[in-house]
Amino acid sequence: MTETNEIDDVQGINSNNINTDYIVDFTTSSAISRVSIKFLAIYIPIFWLSGLAVCIYAYEYFIRLNFVKLDRWIPTILFLPIALICMYFIFIFAVLFFSKLFLILINLIHKPKEGIFKAQIGDPDFEFWALRIEVKKLVVWLMRNCPFPWMDFIAFKWFGVDIDSSSHLQDSWTDMEFIKFGHRVMIGQAAVVMTSMVIGNYLIIKKIIFNDYALVGGVTAIAPGTVFGTDTVLGAASITMPNQVLEPGWVYAGIPARKFRPNTVERRDIIAKVDVDEGTKYDSEHEVNIDKDKKDLLKTKNNSKGE
């Protein structure tokens, strides 16, 4: 299936003559469940090897105990909370390391690729996609439940997501393949960025691109193939369509997302306020750090020239 035909097929979901293969049914749901359960076995060696790393550290720590000599066991007991914290992080990073090794092996056997595939047991693209999802899902869950911030960012970078520290995900979910983040991209809370999705009997995998300063509101759903232009804003609770291109400098909103208004501000030092009791509207000036804004713009231009 060529790329042109793939795009036409995906966009055909929106037409009046809906292909019955794109209708969600229980057969596809059952196939996804059975494949996911089958691949849960991949957690066994990952947990086993990570647990061995923790056991080695625990052995080296507690082997120093000597209840005959007080100068040995008292410091060991006093530093036990720190040791437990170290064991916790050793387990998390061991899971991250061994998951990456398994993922490298999986990708060598079957290289991930974009396209439209049959969502059925026996299709290699579908089954290996499900396996990659299971491996990555475990790591992200552990990282996101860690009390320290930015841990999920480490997982995303480790799995090859094209993202820098200026972008923020704000407790949103994003797939970890076929995705590119520009400079200072903000994804709102509870947003879902899907480079892959199952519609009816088909699995769709398409790259998503966020250009510089793209902003995604909370509780949104980004479909595969979506491209955000520079300074593009997607309002909260909106949904994009597969292969939708959001033009630079525009605000989009709705289901499906449509152009709302240009994302332009004539004066950045003016904030419009409304007095609800009196029903009056007035403008209020505030200080803007123009120099800092110019530095960000210059940095973006320099990066584009370097590319």
pLDDT of residue 232: 93
Most confident of 64-73, 194-203, 246-255, 261-270: 246-255
pLDDT of residue 266: 54
pLDDT band of residue 54 (cuts 50, 70, 90) is very high
pLDDT of residue 195: 92
How much is the mean pLDDT over the chain? 78
pLDDT of residue 289: 56
Give me the DSSP letters along the chain. --HHHHHHHHHGGGSSS--GGGS--HHHHHHHHHHHHHGGGGHHHHHHHHHHHHHHHHHHHHTT--TT-HHHHHHHHHTHHHHHHHHHHHHHHHHHHHHHHHHHHHHHHS----EEEE-STT-HHHHHHHHHHHHHHHHHHHHHTSSSTTHHHHHHHHTT-B--TT-B-TT-EE-SSSEEE-TT-EE-TT-EE-SEEEETTEEEE--EEE-TT-EE-TT-EE-TT-EE-TT-EE-TT-BPPTT-EEPTTEEEETTTTEEEEE---S-TTEEEEEETTTTEEEEEE----HHHHHHHHHHHHHHHHH-
Q: What are the pLDDT digits (tens) for 5-38?
A: 444 444 444 444 445 555 555 445 555 566 566 6
Q: What are the pLDDT digits (tens) for 112-154?
A: 999 999 888 888 898 898 888 888 888 888 887 887 777 778 8
The ranges assigned to domains in the chain are 3-302
Report the sign of the C-alpha dihedral through residues 65, 66, 67, 72, in that order.
negative
CA distance 129 to 109: 12
Residue 244 has pLDDT above 70, yes or no: yes
Residue 164 has pLDDT above 70, yes or no: yes
Q: What's the fold here for domain 3-302?
A: UDP N-Acetylglucosamine Acyltransferase; domain 1 (2.160.10)
Say if CB 175 and CB 196 are below 8 A apart. yes
Residue 170 has pLDDT above 50, yes or no: yes
CA-CA-CA-CA dihedral for 27, 33, 34, 40, to nearest 10: 170
Q: What are the pLDDT digits (tens) for 182-231?
A: 998 999 888 999 999 888 788 899 999 999 999 999 899 999 999 999 99
pLDDT of residue 3: 42
pLDDT of residue 171: 79
**Residue 180: closest CA among 149, 211, 155:** 211
